[in-house]
A and B are shown apart, each in its own frame.
Chain A
Amino acid sequence: MTATIDSERTGPAPSPAFLSDTWYLTGRKLHALVRQPVMLVMGVAQPAIWLFLFGDLFHKIIDIPGFAYQGSYLAYLIPGIVAMNAMSSNMWAGMSMIEEIDRGTLNRFLVTPASRLAIMNAAVAEQAVSTTAQTLIIVVLGYAGGARYPGGAAGIAVLIAASILVGVLWGGLSNMTGMLLRSREAIIGVYSFFMLPLMFLSSAFIPPAFMPGWMRAIASRNPLNWEVQIGRDALLANPDWSAIAIRSGGLLALAVIAVAISVTTFRSYAKNV
């Protein structure tokens, strides 16, 4: 990949250009994020409401025999709410892509020698930063609500890493949808269609042991569920690191594929604006 990047730019310093372009373009995005923190907070508001609504409403189901979770139902919900937030906030990635196309900002970058890959990288980096901040907000809110994390800092770090992977996965798919269909409605339609089924076909609210067989079968193949499981395992006192590693590997592979697809879509977009 480095070869194509270098050939994009001719000049005194071809190779660092890719890195410096990524740096400056990411800086632009983060600047905007810091200036409008309300966007970040708004994004996390709905999942947070779910956390407390569900946590309180169903707090007794933790007592059902076979639930097998040491801790409050609120604590049980945290990884699910983190996953939900990572998915719903990053759905907006494609919208900001459409906005930049409509405004002409993307074209302005495309007529400069800036690395094409850097333009996409900046989007992914911003997703990673904002998802990290939102995940931390949920963790802190959960703590304030009485949830405890026996897994400690390491567990929270793994939870954040998994949420970034899911965020990048959904952000990449959202970018692709945005560039291909150029329609905000299409993005909203596609993602609200998938959102709730994927949530309920995961262990976000209920352990897989309580699910009918067919649901369990789907859940075990649901990437969102992998993230929930990774987060929940990691927050335990004695995490099963091998299970975490396997699921993380799966998520990482999917995230890489999603980014690759969105980069390919972007390249073909950039060739014929």
Chain B
Amino acid sequence: MHAIEAHGLVKIYPAPGKNPRIRALDGLDLIVEPGTIFALVGPNGAGKTTTVKILTTLATADQGTATVEGIDVRADPAGARRVIGVVGQRSGADPTATGRENLILQGHLYGQPTKAAKDRAAELLERFDLTDAAGRFVRTYSGGMQRRLDVALGLVHRPKVLFLDEPTTGLDPEARTAMWDEITRLAASDKVTVLLTTHYLDEADRLADRLAIVDRGRVVAEGEPDQLKRDLAVSSLDEVYLRHAGRRYSDAIRVTEAAGR
């Protein structure tokens, strides 16, 4: 069984005042094997976040099917929610509560009794080096601490599959490296399947066992980072992107940023 399997995902968003409507996903296919780190790479607006939203039951696809751990996300969203952990692009932690309180509430929402929720919170605080800050309000946390808490929140119920939507965006280099180590550890020692999105090609190159380059709602290239480069006899993922998408990755980033997204 695959950890994640998606076939022919199509998602169309209405665009007020615009015709045609925005085709955020245009027949996206995806297969992720258990225990691996898989990266979805592409410029903003390519469809990465939309894919994550569909796989995490936050949105429904207009066409196509998707399963997580063999559970159809559309037919059984409640079942899917039990096996996935999600760390969204935006923090999601409650800034007016402490780190510990955030974690305990999260445990309660997964049906953990108070004692179990408290123990799990303590365990995660320790693991993510937040024990000293556990009693502080989250609004006083640094960017790196907040991101670590976000990941901890996603792990409260020991999910089989963890989704990380742009986990390192906005982090300083040190916090970024620490996050990379943590993600590697998750897959290696916890056997969690990780699907992460990023628009940093170097991040995908370094972390991912496999990656998919997404452009205009489709996967234009998919494979192991080294194999993708080898197949085209190029030295960087940027060139892989250029060959498949017909434009430089940096140009694609610049265009979407100029478009205000």
Contact = CB atoms under 8 A, between A and B. Distances in A.
Contact of A110 (B58, B94, B106): B58
B176 to A, nearest CB: 20
Interface stretch (B108-116, B188-196, B228-236): B108-116
Given A107-B58, A271-B60, A273-B59, A112 B92 contact: no
Interface string B52-79: 0100111110000000000000001011
A28 B153 CA distance: 15
Contact of A102 (B58, B90, B96): B90
A31 B101 CA distance: 10
Interface residues of A, number: 34
Given A28-B97, A32-B94, A103-B92, A272 B60 contact: yes
B53 A273 contact: yes
B56 A105 contact: no
B91 interface: yes
Contacts, number: 89
A103 B91 contact: yes
Given A11-B111, A113-B110, A272-B59, A104 B97 contact: no
A222 interface: no
Interface string A94-125: 00000000111101111111100000000000
A12 B82 CA distance: 12
A13 B108 CA distance: 13
Nearest to A27: B105
B108 A32 contact: no
Interface string B144-155: 000000000100
Contacts of B78: 7-10, 113
B96 A17 contact: no
Interface in A1-59: 7-13, 17, 20-21, 24-25, 27-28, 31-32, 35-36
Given A28-B105, A108-B106, 17 more contacts: A7-B78, A8-B78, A20-B108, A24-B105, A28-B94, A28-B101, A102-B90, A103-B91, A104-B89, A105-B92, A105-B94, A107-B90, A108-B153, A109-B109, A110-B57, A110-B58, A113-B81
A22 to B, nearest CB: 11
B27 interface: no
A117 to B, nearest CB: 13
A12 B94 contact: no
A107 B88 contact: yes
A107 B92 contact: yes
A68 B106 CA distance: 56
Given A32-B96, A112-B106, A113-B78, A104 B91 contact: yes
A112 B96 contact: no
Nearest to A36: B96
A113 B101 contact: no
B86 interface: yes
B214 interface: no
Nearest to A9: B78
A112 B81 contact: yes
Given A32-B96, A111-B57, A273-B58, A21 B109 contact: yes
B101 to A, nearest CB: 7
Contacts of B101: 28, 31
28 contacts: A10-B76, A10-B78, A10-B79, A11-B82, A24-B105, A24-B109, A31-B96, A32-B94, A35-B96, A104-B90, A105-B93, A105-B94, A107-B88, A107-B92, A108-B86, A108-B93, A108-B106, A109-B109, A110-B58, A111-B57, A111-B86, A112-B106, A112-B109, A113-B81, A113-B109, A271-B59, A271-B60, A273-B59
A10 B109 contact: no
Nearest to A119: B109
